[in-house]
C-alpha cells in the first residue's frame, strides 16, 4: 500500500468547505469524477457505518463499505474502508477484501489566511494509484468551485 496526498486552497471558510464536501447534494457533484452517480448512504458521525455507492454497468449500486473512524467538526474526518458492496451485498470478509481492509482516507481542513486548505491523504494499492493521481486533482477543483460559488 502507498499513501497518496493531494491538497488545494479554497477561498471560503472552513465550515462552508466542510458542508460542501460532506453535504449530500454537493458530495454527488465533486465525486462524479471518480464514478458517475456517486453518492453515500449513512452519516458522517464518528463510529458510523457509511456506504459509498454508484450504479455499476448493470445498473446495480456497488461501492465501498466504510466506517467513520474520526470526525472533528470542520477540521478532520477519517474514513476506514472495510469492504465492497456488489449487487447490493456487502463483503467484508473475502480474501480480496482482507488484503486492503483498514485502508484510510483522511481529510484535514486548515485555515490559511482567510482561506481553507484541504489536505487529502489516502492509502491505495498500486493498481489504483494512477487512477487516483489522474482524478483527485479534478475532484478537488470541483470542490473548490462549489465552495467558492
Residue 61: pLDDT band (50, 70, 90) is: confident
Distance CA 48, CA 41 (A): 11
Task: Tell me whether strands 89-91 and 76-86 are parallel, antiparallel or unpaired.
Answer: antiparallel
Containing structural domain, residue 26: 2-148
Give the count of domains, the chain. Answer: 1
Instruction: Identify the pLDDT of residue 111.
Output: 96
Q: d(Cα 91, Cα 98) in Å, to the nearest integer?
A: 10
The predicted pLDDT at position 125 comes to: 78
Judge whether residue 79 has pLDDT over 80: yes
Q: Quick one: cell of 56?
A: 455499476
CATH code for the domain of 8: 3.30.530.20
80-136 pLDDT, tens digit each: 999 999 888 899 988 888 878 889 999 999 999 999 999 999 998 777 788 889 999
Q: What is the pLDDT of residues 3-57, one digit of tens each?
A: 999 999 999 999 999 999 999 999 999 999 999 999 999 999 999 999 999 987 7
CB of 85 within 8 A of CB of 53? yes
Q: What's the pLDDT score for residue 15? A: 97
Closest CA to 141 of 4, 9, 3, 43: 9
Residue spans of alpha helices (H) in the chain? 14-22, 24-30, 95-98, 126-148
Length of the chain in terms of residues written: 149
pLDDT for residue 96: 82
Amino acid at each position: 500500500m502507498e499513501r497518496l496526498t493531494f491538497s488545494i486552497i479554497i477561498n471560503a471558510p472552513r465550515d462552508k468547505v466542510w458542508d460542501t464536501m460532506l453535504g449530500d447534494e454537493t458530495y454527488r457533484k465533486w465525486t462524479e469524477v471518480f464514478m458517475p452517480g456517486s453518492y453515500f448512504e449513512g452519516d458522517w458521525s464518528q463510529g458510523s457505518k457509511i456506504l459509498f455507492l454508484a450504479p455499476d454497468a448493470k445498473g446495480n449500486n456497488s461501492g465501498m463499505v466504510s466506517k467513520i473512524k474520526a470526525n472533528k467538526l470542520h477540521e478532520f474526518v477519517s474514513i476506514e474502508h472495510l469492504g465492497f458492496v456488489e449487487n447490493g451485498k456487502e463483503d467484508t470478509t473475502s480474501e480480496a477484501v482482507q488484503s486492503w481492509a483498514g485502508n484510510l482516507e483522511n481529510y484535514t481542513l486548515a485555515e490559511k489566511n482567510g482561506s481553507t486548505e484541504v489536505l487529502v491523504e489516502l492509502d491505495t494499492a498500486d493498481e489504483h494509484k494512477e487512477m487516483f493521481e489522474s482524478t483527485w486533482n479534478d475532484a478537488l477543483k470541483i470542490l473548490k468551485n462549489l465552495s467558492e460559488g
